Amino acid sequence: MFKRVGWMPRFCAFRPVGAKGAEESVLAVEEAEALRLADAEALTQEECAKKMGVSQPTFSRLVTEARRKAALAITKGMAIRIQGGNYMDEKGVPKMDGSGKGMRANRGRGCGRGRGMGPGRGRWHQQGGQP
């Protein structure tokens, strides 16, 4: 099932300073959207679920998994990458890689822009074409 995402990440990768070659914790775009709505926008789970076009239990699973991945990255010094998933953009266009697995299987295409982490560890990396 596609989840509605009303925001595309401007920055798709974060790596702790000095953590060259760190393992990655990968958040799907819809998981990042769940974090944004629940934690940055401080909406209730019911409001978030409605915005994403999913049930409240589905939203709860998304945000719980996103928080787990973020906490794991912070506590273990892992990089965080936002990439792939099974979602549709604000225009209702589904985002898939053609494999039937959603973009989650489309490795190496952070935020759908085809760019990786790059230099400058310890800060978010801006992707081309985003406002």
Domain count for the chain, please give it: 1
Q: Which residues pair with 81 in a beta bridge?
A: 13, 26
Q: Please state, in angstroms and rounded to a whole number, the distance separating the CA atoms of residues 60 and 114.
A: 30
User: 114 lies in a domain?
Assistant: no
Residues near 85 by Cβ (< 8 Å), separated by ≥ 6? 3, 28, 29, 30, 31, 95, 102, 103, 104
User: 111 lies in a domain?
Assistant: no
Half-sphere exposure in the Cβ direction for 9 (13 Å, CA): 29
Q: What is the pLDDT along the chain (131 residues), one digit of tens a residue?
A: 788 888 877 888 999 988 777 799 999 999 999 999 999 999 999 999 999 999 999 999 999 999 999 999 999 999 999 998 888 877 788 876 333 443 433 333 445 443 333 333 333 333 333 33
User: 122 lies in a domain?
Assistant: no
User: 94 lies in a domain?
Assistant: no
Q: Please state, in angstroms and rounded to a whole number, the distance separating the CA atoms of residues 99 and 116.
A: 21
Residue span of the structural domain in which 11 resides: 3-87
Write the CATH number for 68. 1.10.10
Q: What digits encode the pLDDT tens for the residues 66-79?
A: 999 999 999 999 99
pLDDT for res 6: 83
Q: Where are the alpha helices (DSSP H) in the chain?
A: 29-35, 45-52, 56-76
